[in-house]
Amino acid sequence: MFFRITGLARLGGARGAVAVLAAASIGLSCGDDGPTESGGNGDADPDLTAYDVPADGTLGDVLAVASAGDTIRVAAGTHAVDENLRIEPAQAGLRIVGRELARGETRPVLMCTVAGTALRIDNGAEDVVIAGLEMRGTFSTGIEIAAGNVTVEDMWIEGATFYAIVCQAPANGPVRGNVLVDAGVFGVRCTTGAAPLITQNTIVGAGDCGIYIQSASPVVERNAIYDSVTYAIACFGGAPELACNVLFLSGDSNYSLLCTPGPGDVEADPLFCGDGTYRVGEGSPCLPSKACDWVGAVQATCPPPPARMTR
């Protein structure tokens, strides 16, 4: 059963803002067909809906009925995804959100078993936000962005057969604060005409290039790119702007021949802690400096070693 819950207030009145469910305003009993609204809210927008996965169905189920500006909140735990998910133009402003980083929550896991792209945002589905989720399993591409002003942030995408994230025109929004691990070909691929902001990502173990730019004009800044088989950043046409990236251990070179290192770029070991979190150790070039702020998605340092026992 899908619950459409009305009488939800917008935060700040912005289109597509998260709708907040107050427990005191929802009444349920054993005989109820679904939630009932109680109390009044003069600012409520009946056209905005918040769905919860899995309470309101699978992510695919909920996505099939969600409308423009709605929010889909994915609960903690592991959720099977066995269909290609698609956000269409009529769903502009949709938000799919997982953890709240400020609360120290862990990302919900989408365990994908699909051929092709796990989640695509179609051209015209502008102002979409995808945040705070982990994608694992079997898929060729994690997220494909083909719309303007789409935000993809605080994601962990691991094991894509080809690409973790693809940006194609007219993509121009931020790809920010993501950890992209073991993509088979590219961590981020930018195709002709795309101009996203690719910032504060940690890209590890790409099977070819960490970031691949093909006749595109992204801003690429404050990314930590480690252990790419060929290049950390590959440029083939376009006008990319690079700055404050930390690049290390690329098989051929940290830059392809057509890439120009940007101001603040550093070719040095990021000094990850080695515990799989991609936090960084003392002396890391990812730490804030006079030239650059934090580099990479995980802005935290290694925990102190355990105290030694003394007799």
Q: Tens digits of per-residue pLDDT, 295-304?
A: 999 999 999 8
pLDDT at 310: 65
Of the pLDDT bands very low, low, confident and very high (cuts 50, 70, 90), residue 3 is very low
Task: Find where tokens 């961590």 sit.
Answer: 187
Burial pattern 261-291, b for ≥16 Cβ within 10 A else e, equals ebebbbbebbbbbeeeebbbeeebbbbeeee
Q: How many CA atoms lie within 13 Å of 117's alpha carbon, on the beta-carbon side? A: 15
The per-residue pLDDT for 18 is 35
How far from 303 is each of 100, 134, 181, 277, 307, CA to CA, in Å?
22, 23, 22, 11, 12
Q: Answer with the residue of higher pLDDT: 30 or 213.
A: 213
CATH 2.160.20 fits 70-267, yes or no: yes
Residues 6 or more apart in contact with residue 311 via CB below 8 angstroms: none
Handedness of CA 96, 100, 102, 105 (dihedral sign): negative
Q: Is the pLDDT of residue 28 over 60?
A: no
What's the rounded Cα separation, in Å, for the pair 126 and 128?
6
- pTM given for the model: 0.85
* Alpha-carbon span 110 to 202, nearest angstrom: 19
Average pLDDT over residues 22-38: 30
Structure tokens at 12: 């700040």
* Cross-sheet strand order for the sheet of 109-113: 78-81, 109-113, 134-138, 156-158, 179-181, 202-204, 224-226, 246-248, 266-267
Q: For all residues of the chain together, what is the average pLDDT?
A: 86
**Band of the pLDDT at 141, cuts 50, 70, 90?**
very high
- CA-closest candidate to residue 79, choices 62, 103, 101, 102: 62
Instruction: Report d(CA 88, CA 169) in Å as an integer.
Output: 16
Whether pLDDT at 281 is above 70: yes
Task: Give the residue among 249, 244, 183, 169 at the shortest CA–CA distance from 211.
Answer: 183
Q: Any idea where the domains of the chain sit in the sequence?
A: 70-267
